[in-house]
Amino acid sequence: MRNYTKPTWFAIGWLGLMMFFSLFGWLLPFKPWNFVFEDDLEVGLFSSGHLLGTDSNGYDLLSSAVAGTRMSVFIAIAAVGLGGFIGSVLGILAAYLRGKIDTVMVTIFNVGLSVPNLVLALALVSVLATNVDINQAVPTWRRVMVLIISLTIVLIPILGRIARGATLSWSGREFVTAARSMGMKDSKIILRHIVPNVLPALIAVAFLAVGVVIIAEASLSILGVGIPDGASWGGMIARGRNDLEYAPHVLYVPIVFLALTVISTNHLGDVVRSKLDSREAKV
Amino acid sequence: MSRISFWLQRVAQLLIVLLLVTFGVSLLLRLIPVDLATILLPVGTEEERDILRNELGFDKGPIGYYLQWLGNFVQGDFGKIYFSGGTEEVSDHLKVAMPRSLLLMVYTQILSLAIAIPLGVLSAYRAGRRADKIISNTLFTLSSIPNFAIALLLVIFVGVKFAWLPTLGYAPISDGVWEHFKHMIMPVISLSLGLIATYTRLLRADMIAALREDYVTMAASKGLSDSRILWRHVFRPSSMTLLTSAALSMGGLIGGAIVIESIFATYGIGFEVFAAIAGRQYVALQSTVAVIALFYVFFNLVVDVSSGFVDPRTRDRRVNA
């Protein structure tokens, strides 16, 4: 705790603020993000009543950004949580059990990795979000579910491969062999000896994965297949592109939120990893 | 002998991956809870749709459909794009999109390597000093900014405020070299920043490790100049990881530039994927994703082959493993 640098404190602070917005944003005294301020169209940054200005629809940008935080952070945490859990279970089992299971898992991971992230997510979203009646719009909650599921599927091979790699390097260690020779059950060895050692590496990657998911979700929204009515950072960018020429601040707001969040998660991922490396070096 | 069997095994692995990817996409299409023929021919009659179902193999099971698609694909028939006025060949679209994407990738790689190599060498040489810290921190921050954000900021400032460069479209080289590059500069910069950071980091780490080798001490004690040691004795062995990473990133870039391609309307292969999805052209989607996966797998193979040729040590290690 003592030797954290200033950037690290900033990252922790910013992510804390984002968590606060996503958990308690609804307590803030804002009008709903899509409340139309008819008299204040496209007012600039730091105007009275609109700290971050409004866009050409008359939406207040601060209120939109706070609502967007909730959506973006929720999707990111849900996808990374699910993808991380499934990926680690598969990766750890594959590396621990070796043999045929390992071969099959590695092949599945490679298949997933041979399609670029965004292409895979785009294909999954478009397939999963297709309605039986194609003229009927897909409701927002279903869009959100589809986004989470798609991004989870995208993350599984990425995180699974890392979990597998980390497990491989630990499962050959002496204490694992010792535990096995003492007749410890495989399930117990994995839980007691493998998971605690692999977990820190996975946490470091999970931070990076949150950034990846936030960017992917925003990219999908920019392409028009994310959250349709724009209650996310990507949605704000997608709408702001139309105002680009006359009111670029409409784009600055979501871009700054997004960039600072990704910089923070990447930085914290880095900090965790370097802590890990120094621990490894001591061993 | 063992080397040949190693390569055969490697190629077989990649082929299996390719088959599984394409089969996966094919299966995904069959999961769509709507009639594909109705989507492709929204205004056609039922007889026309029946003909289409038969032509594309929608009336067969998932495996029959896949085999029919695969048969056509390997013969270069990538399917058609259907719209109200008629059809267009997917392969014609890809013929236009592919060179654009490849040029975009090549420029991106050249720019990234041209900037990352000197930066990486410098920060390894001055590791831990101020220059190294400034380079590392700046690149780290820049690489965390999503490429579409950089693209939009470039459009706002370079494209709109100062109007130095066109913000939309693509110009082939035949329109003039300058015209061509004018359209390419902003997309290439947007895609490069992340890569520059990755490459610089890789090169720095590799070179710092190489600088600790005995032969570097030896070279220094012979009185060779720092720059000669850095470039001839340290950079050369370290460049291998860099090239591997560059080749691997090609596959991801081919299709991963969707957002950049749509912001700048350069209409490369990433944009074809997007257009296929937006227009519900599922056959086109299947073939385009297959082409992207093909490129990815191809570049993977290139990495394997070239690393074996350039660095014989990896070749032996692989065979023994």
**B18-29: pLDDT as tens digits:** 898 889 888 888
Sign of CA dihedral A47, A53, A56, A62: negative
B319: confidence class by pLDDT, cuts 50, 70, 90: very low
Please give the pLDDT value at position A261.
93
Residue span of the structural domain in which B113 resides: 98-271
Element (H, E) at B235: none
Residue B36: inside a domain: no
Residue B109: inside a domain: yes
Domain count for chain B, please give it: 1
Residue of chain B whose Cα is closest to the Cα of A240 = B152
* ipTM confidence score: 0.82
Please give the pLDDT value at position A41.
67
**Do the Cβ atoms of A123 and B263 come within 8 Å?**
no
Local structure of B89: helix, strand or coil:
strand
d(CA B292, CA A45): 42
**Do the Cβ atoms of A117 and B258 come within 8 Å?**
no
Is B27's Cβ below 8 Å from some Cβ in A?
A: no
**Do the Cβ atoms of B259 and A266 come within 8 Å?**
no
d(CA B172, CA B177): 8
**Do the Cβ atoms of A244 and B31 come within 8 Å?**
no
Element (H, E) at B246: helix B236-256
B268: confidence class by pLDDT, cuts 50, 70, 90: confident
Residue B73: inside a domain: no
Q: Which two tokens stand for residue A207?
A: 């931070």
Do residues B242 and B202 lie in contact, with contact meaning Cβ atoms separated by under 8 Å? yes
B156: confidence class by pLDDT, cuts 50, 70, 90: confident
Residue B223: inside a domain: yes
Q: Which two tokens stand for residue B3?
A: 């080397």
- Please tell me which of A9-18, A135-144, B54-63, B273-282 the model is most confident about, judged by mean pLDDT: A9-18
Average pLDDT on B166-193 reads 84
Instruction: DSSP for B161-197, please give it.
Output: IS--S--S----GGG-HHHHHHHHHHHHHHHHHHHHH
Residue of chain B whose Cα is closest to the Cα of A125 = B277
B130-149 pLDDT, tens digit per residue, is 989 899 888 888 888 888 88
What are the residue ranges of helices labelled H in B32-129? Answer: 36-40, 46-56, 62-74, 90-125
Residue B289: inside a domain: no
Is A129's Cβ below 8 Å from some Cβ in B?
A: no
3-state DSSP percent of chain B in helix, strand and coil, to 5: 80, 0, 20
Mean pLDDT by 10 residues, chain A (283 residues): 77 90 77 69 68 71 83 91 94 90 89 83 80 66 87 92 88 85 87 87 90 90 76 84 78 89 91 77 56
Average pLDDT on B280-289 reads 86
Residue B24: inside a domain: no
Please say if the pLDDT value at position B114 is more than 90. yes
- CATH code of the domain in which B134 resides: 1.10.3720.10
- Report CA B24 to chain centroid distance, whole Å: 20
- Report CA B26 to chain centroid distance, whole Å: 22
Least confident of B42-46, B72-76, B183-187, B220-224: B42-46
Please give the pLDDT value at position A141.
80
Is A241's Cβ below 8 Å from some Cβ in B?
A: yes
CB proximity list for B178: less than 8 A, separation 6 or greater: none
User: CA dihedral in degrees (A83, A86, A89, A94; nearest 10)?
Assistant: -90
Q: Which residues pair with A60 in a beta bridge?
A: A54
- Surface-to-core class of residue A192, CB atoms within 10 Å of its CB (0-12 exposed, 13-18 middle, 19+ buried): middle
**What is the interface size between A and B, counted as CB pairs within 8 Å?**
126
Please give the pLDDT value at position B308.
65
Instruction: DSSP for A9-40, please give it.
Output: HHHHHHHHHHHHHHHHGGGSS---TT---TT-
B82-93 pLDDT, tens digit per residue, is 877 778 888 888
d(CA B104, CA B143): 19
Please give the pLDDT value at position B317.
45
Residues of B in contact with A116 (CB under 8 A): 251-256, 292, 296
Do residues B169 and B187 lie in contact, with contact meaning Cβ atoms separated by under 8 Å? no
Please give the pLDDT value at position B297.
82
Residue of chain B whose Cα is closest to the Cα of A247 = B156
Least confident of B39-43, B45-49, B140-144, B269-273: B39-43
Is A122's Cβ below 8 Å from some Cβ in B?
A: yes
Q: Which two tokens stand for residue B57?
A: 């193999």
Nearest to B256 by CA among A236, A223, A235, A204: A223
Residue B295: inside a domain: no
B212-257 pLDDT, tens digit per residue, is 888 888 888 888 888 888 888 888 877 877 888 887 787 678 766 8
**Do the Cβ atoms of A115 and B278 come within 8 Å?**
no
Question: Within the 4-63 window of chain A, which residues sit less than 8 Å (CB to CB) from chain B?
Answer: none
Please give the pLDDT value at position B321.
33
Residue B114: inside a domain: yes
For chain B, the average pLDDT equals 83
